[in-house]
Structure 1
């Protein structure tokens, strides 16, 4: 198995519910804290490392249940308390960004209530099947996801609470946040957050114009107003759009490129001078649940790592460095080393998605849109909010059934659900918006690309070859001789040299191979640029 760069864990938040022993762990924590006059501190060993734990209490807004709980358990505590625990690596006690977590322990029983700040009471939702239990909310950083439960157990033992209370989390336990990351040298990370890089491309290609959640952030100024390209760039995708790029994934995720707040003041020798590229789980972006079992945590790490490696590879970064650490910068928790069991990256087929979406627009514009279809698209790309067919009909003085029929005829451009309609992707919306703003120019460009693709299809070159021809038209690449096998050598002509041209050459090579064309013919092609410079295709394919 080929070794890959191994990401490191960063943030992690989860709710661990334990009901096997009812409220005994809660009562035990109360006894320990009272015996220690409000706070118990201890040190312990975990997998060869020394850790420090502090258990204390805080006031609670939970309504006192009286002398007995609904389930029959006797309640002898006069004051309502909750318990907080801090666990950290002993040697990291005074360091920044240390390996640590905080645990908040609260009781759970059916019918329990809490008092809000305004004095009103509300019932706390407890999953059915749980009579009495404890909930421990863990928030930590720089610790492997699988270690939190065993660390919690060892910390509890260290302060005098039985470890078996924390052996078997309830199935309703759930992960709320998790991130895996690598640190990349600032001189190599530009393609990750660049205009044509994977973060921007996923935001434009894999999310609908309005339906669901779309968030793309591109901030190049730090918190002090200093310009730092790539300071905070993110894209967040829900489960549906994640599956378009990763068919076997389902967890909603955020992909991000970001610097530390103090990065601009750091020397190049400091890891903080260089950005992180990370992928995090976004629980608020779906209705599903991810548990805390070994299987669930394995799945979480696999999806995060595979997404991260795929993004790095798509940006042209070496994910299997064999000499040194390649473009990666180690820090206190990211070692910059490779490992054989890291998830295999997925080829982000964003080029094909982009070409397919372009072809959809081309086909409709060349074939001609009905007046009602054109009006509907005008509204969708300029409205900026949720749109119903009735809204479109009223805006243009049409019958609503005419609008619905028109929309059914452009199903590959729009999505219709629950009485609302939206453009199928932000990228399609941009293409259509160009047509709305300057119809003649947009149709001319679309017709040119479409004509070349249709010509390729008519010559029996197949659908994938048509995608290659559409790619060439989009990049202004002249490839007539590429399709003529009698030519001794084919030529690829680009406007200007640079990273975008190099990226386009690599994309074209992948589509060329997918079409079943001989790789050696493409690799041996001559590359000519508008400034008169000439190169060999293989040099651009084998760089980086």
Structure 2
């Protein structure tokens, strides 16, 4: 846990249901009185203003029919069950001056009041059929569900705004000072606005958003989603969603499914670089679709509430910034907008952790490397089935596919722990990253096998023709090495087409090249080599002289004698068919 001054992250979307139980349906009757006492035909919709937090807010009341049947209880005094809405908007720099219900409400939103009572019924307008109302919380008593949906307002201000919005129409504030413990949050998000020139590390292929998706467990269990839309500009919309189980793997102790997204507002290129609209946001939001937990407004038991939610959102956002190399305490890497200020900091305690993604990657790669050299035929058959299958595979299906019996498949799964996951009767590879790492090694092994077979065939053919070849010829054949002699920075560049599994494997290849080159020419100077690793990294050694290759000493006289013999053989070889010529001087 780190207690220091962090950026004050801006609250963005918010959606919550406040359950007003104490006063039963009194708030609803009060809204109905406003509707009945207002001259809608002459004055239009009721409007008003109020002051809150040193700001002026405009409000507008409206109502809609709904198919809910009036409550049959004798205490219910109405013959209707309208749904009421109050629109509210802040009169700030983003305000368009329109009536609240017509405004864009950049800072503002809507309060929807729904009456609730036990055993609610509805009537279909077309058929007249009466049925139960589904999807509402039946508390066993009448109450009001006040749903607040808004943006760019600090989460803690919503109770006051709810009460003040209603009070603007003469409805007592005391109706809104207590919320039932079932009041809950459906959406909440916090964001920062990053300078366009600085945000690339967030959405890059090796950045935290992409790696969260690729390095966590298989999508065959739980839920995750990753979307990239770079058609209009790099990083235009890049989002990753993780469920509550994966959230715990990113930051220990987290329990809430979340979405992290990097995105631009609509048509950012119509803005100038010194305007906020030119620059993207990084936002972390709560995802009810990706979590099994309910987040309540306020609880005193072990349930999650708004305080837990805000802490988790801010912790993930702060850590994502640091993992992308950005300063979570603010500065010139950020751009201000109407609500976010890079210079606005507050001291608070957030859990900051070392990026877990490299650790996850290291563990998965270690499991792949360990298994790669230790698999027996049944293990390879199971892995091959999972690598080629596009969905869930049961042990029984795997046994049928591979030809091995069910018990043999289960023993293989036990041996492959850490690479294969066995849950709910299904087998899957633990992550996309692990699957790709294994595929690289499988393909590399297959290609290496073909090359070695081809090399053996060539050696047998040359032996049958009495053709003599040296270590460099063997190296070129074995590693399918191209030789580029057209470069200005060296005499020749060796380019093995075999992909090295690891850096140590690359060193072994380079060591063989060093020995072969010195065997033919007596020197390694001017000869370079480039080797590709399985992860796509390119390593280049100049003059083949970097340790650990150049540890051997050579008898110069012996080398000169071999070179003289080689010159004579070169002349003989010129008369051989082209397919037998496999000399260092041939460029592939």
Q: TM-score range by the shorter chain?
A: 0.7 to 0.9
User: In the superposition, relative to structure 1, how do residues 250 and 477 fare at CA in structure 2: closer, same or farther (>3 Å)?
Assistant: farther
2:80 is matched with 79
User: In the superposition, relative to structure 1, how do residues 172 and 319 fare at CA in structure 2: closer, same or farther (>3 Å)?
Assistant: same
Shift of 1:267: 1.3
User: In the superposition, relative to structure 1, how do residues 406 and 94 fare at CA in structure 2: closer, same or farther (>3 Å)?
Assistant: same
User: In the superposition, relative to structure 1, how do residues 2 and 411 fare at CA in structure 2: closer, same or farther (>3 Å)?
Assistant: same
Shift of 1:354: 0.7
Aligned-partner SS, 2:146: strand
Aligned-partner SS, 1:77: coil
Shift of 1:84: 0.8
In structure 2, what is the Cα distance between the partners aligned to 1:106 and 1:29? Answer: 11
Query: In the alignment, which of 398, 407, 412 is matched to residue 406 of structure 1?
Result: 412
Shift of 1:269: 1.4
Contact 2:385 2:402 (C-alpha < 8 Å) held by counterparts: no
How do 1:103-502 residues align onto structure 2 when only pairs under 5 Å count? 103-115=111-123, 119=127, 121-127=131-137, 129-221=139-231, 227-293=232-298, 296-321=305-330, 325-337=331-343, 338-341=345-348, 343-368=350-375, 370-440=376-446, 473=503
Shift of 1:179: 0.8
Query: In the alignment, which of 4, 23, 47 is matched to residue 21 of structure 1?
Result: 23
TM-score by length of 2: 0.71
- Structure 1, unmatched stretches of 5+, are 222-226, 444-470, 479-494, 505-527, 533-544
2:37 is matched with 35
Shift of 1:411: 2.3
Contact 1:111 1:124 (C-alpha < 8 Å) held by counterparts: no
Contact 1:267 1:273 (C-alpha < 8 Å) held by counterparts: yes
Q: Does residue 113 of structure 2 align to residue 98 of structure 1?
A: no
Query: In the alignment, which of 62, 74, 77 is matched to residue 56 of structure 1?
Result: 62
Q: How many residues end up aligned between the 2 structures? A: 450
1:446 is matched with none
In structure 2, what is the Cα distance between the partners aligned to 1:476 and 1:308? Answer: 39
Contact 1:228 1:264 (C-alpha < 8 Å) held by counterparts: no
Contact 1:146 1:294 (C-alpha < 8 Å) held by counterparts: no
Shift of 1:130: 3.6
Shift of 1:125: 4.6
TM-score by length of 1: 0.76
Aligned-partner SS, 1:230: coil
In structure 2, what is the Cα distance between the partners aligned to 1:320 and 1:472? Answer: 38
Contact 1:206 1:242 (C-alpha < 8 Å) held by counterparts: no
Contact 2:81 2:115 (C-alpha < 8 Å) held by counterparts: no
Q: How well do the aligned residues superpose, as a CA RMSD in angstroms?
A: 3.1
Shift of 1:440: 4.5
Shift of 1:439: 3.6
After superposition, the C-alpha distances for 1:240-278 in whole angstroms (9 at most, x for unaligned) are 111112002111111111111211222111111110011
User: In the superposition, relative to structure 1, how do residues 302 and 475 fare at CA in structure 2: closer, same or farther (>3 Å)?
Assistant: farther
After superposition, the C-alpha distances for 1:107-128 in whole angstroms (9 at most, x for unaligned) are 1111102346775634335546
Larger radius of gyration: 2
After superposition, the C-alpha distances for 1:370-418 in whole angstroms (9 at most, x for unaligned) are 3333222223233222222222223233333332332222221122222
Shift of 1:76: 2.6
- Structure 2, unmatched stretches of 5+, are 98-103, 450-500, 509-529, 544-588
Shift of 1:203: 0.7
User: In the superposition, relative to structure 1, how do residues 435 and 472 fare at CA in structure 2: closer, same or farther (>3 Å)?
Assistant: closer
Contact 1:113 1:124 (C-alpha < 8 Å) held by counterparts: no
User: In the superposition, relative to structure 1, how do residues 110 and 253 fare at CA in structure 2: closer, same or farther (>3 Å)?
Assistant: same
